[in-house]
Amino acid sequence: MRDDRAICPDFALDRPLPSDVEAERDCVALLIAGAAEWGDKLAAALTLDDFTDKKLRACYDVAMRVFKESGVFSRSLLQAALDGNPDAKRFIHAADLTEITRYFPRAFAAGQQFIDRVREMSLRRRAIRELFRCLVSAYETSEPFADGLARINEKIGGLSADTVLDDDGFTHISAEAKTTANEIENREPGKMTGLASGFHKLDELTCGLQAGEFIVVGAHSSQGKSAFMLNIATHAACSRGVPVLFMSLEMPRKRLIERILSDRANIRGTALRNGRLSPIDVENLRDHSTRLEKTPIYMTAPATKNIARLRTVSQFAVRRNGVKIIFVDYLQIIDCPRVENRQVSVSLVSAELQKLAHELNVPVVVGSQLTKPMDKTKPHRPRLWDLRESGAIGQDADLVLILWRPGVYAKQNGDTTADDRTTDVIVAKNRNGPLEDFRLRFDYEYSRFVGIEEPTATYAPPIRRDEPVPQTVIPF
């Protein structure tokens, strides 16, 4: 076994690491004498690293190999396996097997307790080792403190995720089947089970954005993926009061807020930037900026591009601020330290974001670039495999939406009459629903998408400069 004192040279362990050899022995007894009932549970819960006693570890290793390879278990099969394994035979003898199985009645009476006990002691040992490594990392001054802190948080967070024992891991379907059936039966007809996106057709296809899902919004440059994601975020926060975390990795927070105000207060973006506001614009700006101060939207600085930092910020936001949905714009500029291959890096980032959605049990909506069309004069309609730099993104995602505005390319190629506002929303993947495309219209002036066949009365109509100023304030 490794010397645990060598993990942290600045601190000496003045007592042995926690363990329970008797519980380890009882678990081995369960496997040898009760494999038919306990074999699968032991295989799901314990590994060799969970055992501290060399003899018990060797016996568990050989016995579990016999159980997994043969599907049945007997003393004779175990003895034959030991005879063919000289290394294990150095530790284990026939008398040892007899002595271990003598404890089976005690082990059988409280088997799950002994499994949990061995697992708990293993996690305690791992916690001590990880915390020692964190102490060493805190002394390291050659890297930015924020990076080291993010890595420490990632280690502790990973340890926390591994503390899940049998109740939330290995379980029979009966534990959830009745509860799930009752929930379905009592659901209000037509009521969404997820968070509303603000787009009727999308909510119809998905029943809302579901907790724990990894959602990808793909588009070529200047097709509106940032605006689309921001529209969903502001609908959730402003119209529904849902706490939102929006992490834009390339756009300053001030620019994001300008877009939100343009959308919600119905003020043209150019007017916000050049300051040429009408009296009603000023009134709406003041009203909606005041409302925005009370809206549960949280943002990060564009510098937050490290995947470990993103994880740390997300965990903090969910735990401290009750965030129910996370947006990341966009995937390809997230850094994955110590990985040089670009495709591997993007794949790892995609897997981490999927894992983050599962761990925090909130929708994680991520923007993604598409591969540039080879012929811009005749660009093809994008599909799932066009997600840039990695096929893993499409594999990891639960829902993939691709924004496609062919009129943008038509105008770039000289067609001045082309409609560059109509947007096809291609549902390229929907793990839990149908694949059905729909259309939206992009309003450049207000950085927002609206349904082509849906009313837009939730927003004030554009006001001409020569019209009299209305006396009512537009509702948020």
pLDDT 10s digits, 350-362 = 888 998 999 899 9
pLDDT tens digits for 10-28? 444 567 888 898 989 888 8
Report CA dihedral (308, 2, 138, 331) to the nearest 10 degrees. Answer: -10
pLDDT of amino acid 163: 55
Sheet holding 399-404, edge to edge: 297-299, 244-248, 325-329, 364-369, 214-219, 399-404, 422-430, 438-443, 448-451
pLDDT tens digits for 263-310? 888 888 888 888 888 888 888 888 888 888 888 989 887 766 778 788
b (16+ CB within 10 A) / e for 201-232: bbbebbbbbbbbbbbbbbbbeebbbbbbbbbb
Q: What is the mean pLDDT of residues 392-412?
A: 83
The fraction of the chain above a pLDDT of 70, given in percent, is 75
CB atoms within 10 A of CB 267: 25
Q: What is the mean pLDDT of residues 376-391?
A: 73
- Secondary element (H or E) of residue 269: helix 269-274
Q: What is the mean pLDDT of residues 346-375?
A: 85
pLDDT band at 162 (very low <50, low <70, confident <90, very high): low
Q: What is the mean pLDDT of residues 45-64?
A: 86
Rounded Cα–Cα distance for residues 100 and 31 (Å): 10
Cβ(343)–Cβ(332) under 8 Å?
no
pLDDT of amino acid 157: 62
Q: Which two structure tokens, joined as six digits, stand for 280?
A: 């009603």
DSSP string, 271-312: HHHH----HHHHHHHHHHHHHHHTS-EEE--TT--BHHHHHH
Cβ(213)–Cβ(398) under 8 Å?
yes
pLDDT band at 401 (very low <50, low <70, confident <90, very high): very high
**Three-state SS for 461?**
coil
Rounded Cα–Cα distance for residues 232 and 199 (Å): 8
pLDDT band at 74 (very low <50, low <70, confident <90, very high): low
According to DSSP, the β-strands at 399-404 and 364-369 are unpaired
Cβ(336)–Cβ(317) under 8 Å?
no
pLDDT tens digits for 422-448? 888 989 899 888 888 888 988 888 888
- Decide if pLDDT at 415 tops 80: no
Amino acid at 328: V
Average pLDDT, the chain: 78
